[in-house]
């Protein structure tokens, strides 16, 4: 694992006089030199607008942009390249579905079903849609270990349900949800399933067909790609009947004074100059991840969790949220230390060069469900090491001493 860490220039720095340890990859991942180079190379050698130039440079840019789409297609095992739409990220992807497919297919009295563990980006667009069309937003409950209550899922998803939208992996609880089983429940009621893949795509092999996902959304920046690029996968049969969200250049075919015809998929959805460098950077990130192998990444992270979880649990006063068993826990570990507020813990860790997240993790309904206002969250990626976890554990113990004994 040592050589992987050296691919990430940002990880090699000192924060507050200590070698920095980055433990917030669920918020955004760091970028390997390969991705940084791909973006720089594009701007240095190939930059031009896409899909319009007759000249060499534009053709090169177009080819690179579309090659990135192919990489995404293979990476998530989509059936066709037309099913891959580039967006700004997971949030925009979900908003697109809600604001067009949702408005056209969800009506007064219908239901949208999500869960208590969703990120705000998979809650608020549905709240707004429900208000706009007069639909009901329903929540699937959780088991005491933080896993999704599948018995409740079967109750909540009814004949009135039009959309089920669920996180593939939680950004707080460290659980992976049984998407295929949820898809079956949804499809039995003729509802579509939207999968928020922001926290799963960076860490495990994704097969949208095996998952039976109708829509699958994810962000580039959490999987070593740049910020500002994301993907909306949609089944071709659904996308063909879905209206574009935005209108303008790139997406049109023929424009007259009062009307216009539109491009075929996928360009129909990509109005305006797209984020070409972002797509190329995402493609480079996919190359990087694929070279290591997604199952290898998953295994390495599992080993890190198996190392970290018992050591964190062993600290007196630590409560870990989500599944307690190593085998069920992803590399996202949310916890609290008795008597020390999460923000105070995060500030103290930062003073020791350890960068963690503290707060509600953009999941306020989940926090209320857990009866917490804030937790500390450590999220790991393959560039993290067991030595870093040792330092984290030792530092938490030191901070406990500081706050509990340092003032008497």
Partner 1 sequence: MALHNLDNLYRQAIMSYAQNPHHFHPVTAKDQYAVKKYNPTCGDVIEIAMTMNDQVIADIHFDGDGCAISKASASIMTDLVLNKTLSEAQNIISEFSKMAIGDVHDQLLLGEAELLAGVTKFPARIKCATLAWHTLDELMVGKK
Taking the C-alpha atoms of residue 372 and residue 364, their distance in angstroms, rounded to an integer, is: 9
Q: How many CB atoms lie within 10 A of CB 220?
A: 34
Closest separation in Å from C-beta 395 to partner 1: 9
Q: Which stretch binds partner 1 (CB under 8 A): 39-47, 234-242, 310-318, 341-349?
A: 341-349
Concerning whether 27 is annotated as a catalytic residue, the answer is no
- Tell me which of 173, 337, 362, 378 is the catalytic residue: 362
Closest separation in Å from C-beta 366 to partner 1: 11
Residue 347 near partner 1 by CB under 8 A: yes
Would you say 58 or 351 has its CB closer to partner 1?
Answer: 351
Would you say 324 or 347 has its CB closer to partner 1?
Answer: 347
Would you say 53 or 359 has its CB closer to partner 1?
Answer: 359
Residue 250 near partner 1 by CB under 8 A: no
x/- contact string, 286-325, with partner 1 (CB under 8 A)?
A: ----------------------------------------
Backbone CA torsion sign across 62, 68, 74, 76: negative
Identify residues 84-143 at the interface with partner 1 (CB under 8 A). none
Burial 145-181 (b: 16+ CB within 10 A, else e): ebbbbeebbeebbeebbbbbbbbbbbbbbbbbbbbee
Q: What is the DSSP track for 299-333?
A: HHHHHHHHHHHHHHHTSTTEEE-S--SGGG--SEE
Length of the chain: 408
Residue of 191, 342, 376, 380 that binds partner 1 (CB under 8 A): 342
- Under DSSP, the state recorded for 335 is E
Q: Is-contact 160 105, C-beta < 8 A?
A: no
Cα atoms in the Cβ-side hemisphere of radius 13 Å centred on 253: 9
Q: Which stretch binds partner 1 (CB under 8 A): 30-38, 73-81, 313-321, 398-406?
A: 398-406
Q: Is-contact 238 214, C-beta < 8 A?
A: yes
Would you say 41 or 351 has its CB closer to partner 1?
Answer: 351
Q: Is-contact 329 322, C-beta < 8 A?
A: yes
Identify residues 349-388 at the interface with partner 1 (CB under 8 A). 350-352, 358-360, 364, 367, 373-374
Q: Which stretch binds partner 1 (CB under 8 A): 38-46, 91-99, 196-204, 347-355?
A: 347-355
Closest separation in Å from C-beta 393 to partner 1: 15
Closest separation in Å from C-beta 22 to partner 1: 16
| Phi (first) and psi of residue 204, to 5 degrees | -150, 160
Closest separation in Å from C-beta 402 to partner 1: 5
Q: Is-contact 141 117, C-beta < 8 A?
A: no
Taking the C-alpha atoms of residue 135 and residue 179, their distance in angstroms, rounded to an integer, is: 23
x/- contact string, 56-95, with partner 1 (CB under 8 A)?
A: ----------------------------------------
Taking the C-alpha atoms of residue 220 and residue 210, their distance in angstroms, rounded to an integer, is: 22
Would you say 53 or 365 has its CB closer to partner 1?
Answer: 365
In 3D space, the residue among 222, 228, 270 whose CA is nearest the CA of residue 119 turns out to be 222
Backbone CA torsion sign across 172, 173, 178, 184: negative
Residue of 9, 13, 16, 158 that binds partner 1 (CB under 8 A): 16
Would you say 261 or 347 has its CB closer to partner 1?
Answer: 347
Residue 396 near partner 1 by CB under 8 A: no
Whether cis (ω within 30° of 0) applies to the bond prior to 266 is yes
Closest separation in Å from C-beta 370 to partner 1: 12
Q: Where along the sequence are the contacts to partner 1 (CB under 8 A)?
A: 16, 341-344, 347-348, 350-352, 358-360, 364, 367, 373-374, 398-399, 402-403, 406-407
Task: Please identify every residue annotated as catalytic.
Answer: 362
């Amino acid at each position: 694992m040592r050589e992987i860490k050296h691919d990430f220039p940002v990880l090699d720095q000192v924060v507050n006089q200590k070698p920095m340890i980055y433990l917030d990859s669920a918020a955004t991942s760091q970028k390997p030199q390969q991705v940084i180079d791909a973006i720089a190379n594009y701007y240095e050698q190939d930059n031009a607008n896409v899909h319009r130039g007759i000249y060499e440079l534009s053709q090169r840019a177009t080819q690179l942009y579309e090659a990135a789409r192919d990489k995404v297609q293979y990476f998530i095992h989509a059936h066709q390249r037309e099913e891959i739409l580039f967006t700004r990220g997971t949030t925009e992807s979900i908003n697109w579905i809600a604001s067009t497919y949702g408005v056209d297919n969800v009506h007064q009295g219908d239901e949208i079903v999500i869960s208590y563990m969703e990120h705000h980006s998979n809650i608020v667009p549905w709240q707004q849609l429900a208000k706009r069309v007069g639909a009901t937003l329903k929540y699937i409950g959780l088991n005491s270990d933080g896993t999704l209550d599948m018995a409740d899922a079967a109750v909540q998803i009814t004949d009135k349900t039009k959309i089920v939208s669920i996180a593939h992996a939680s950004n707080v609880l460290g659980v992976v949800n049984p998407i295929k089983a949820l898809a079956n429940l949804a499809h039995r009621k003729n509802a579509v399933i939207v999968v928020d893949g922001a926290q799963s795509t960076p860490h495990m092999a994704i097969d949208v067909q095996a998952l039976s996902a109708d829509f699958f959304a994810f962000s580039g920046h959490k999987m070593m790609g740049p910020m500002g690029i994301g993907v909306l996968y949609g089944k071709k049969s659904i996308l063909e009947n879905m209206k574009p969200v935005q209108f303008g250049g790139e997406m049109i075919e023929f424009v007259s004074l009062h009307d216009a015809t539109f491009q075929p998929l996928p360009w129909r959805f990509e109005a305006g100059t797209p984020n070409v460098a972002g797509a190329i950077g995402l493609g480079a990130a996919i190359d990087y991840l694929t070279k290591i192998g997604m199952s290898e990444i998953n295994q390495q992270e599992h080993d890190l969790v198996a190392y970290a979880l018992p050591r964190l649990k062993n600290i007196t006063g630590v409560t870990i949220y989500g599944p307690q068993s190593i085998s069920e826990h992803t590399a996202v570990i949310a916890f609290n230390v008795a008597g020390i507020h999460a923000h105070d813990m995060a500030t103290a860790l930062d003073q020791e060069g350890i960068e963690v997240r503290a707060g509600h993790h953009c999941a306020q309904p989940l926090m209320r469900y857990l009866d917490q206002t804030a937790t500390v969250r450590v999220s790991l990626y393959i560039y993290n090491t067991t030595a870093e976890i040792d330092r984290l554990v030792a530092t938490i113990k030191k901070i406990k001493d500081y706050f509990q004994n340092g003032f008497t």
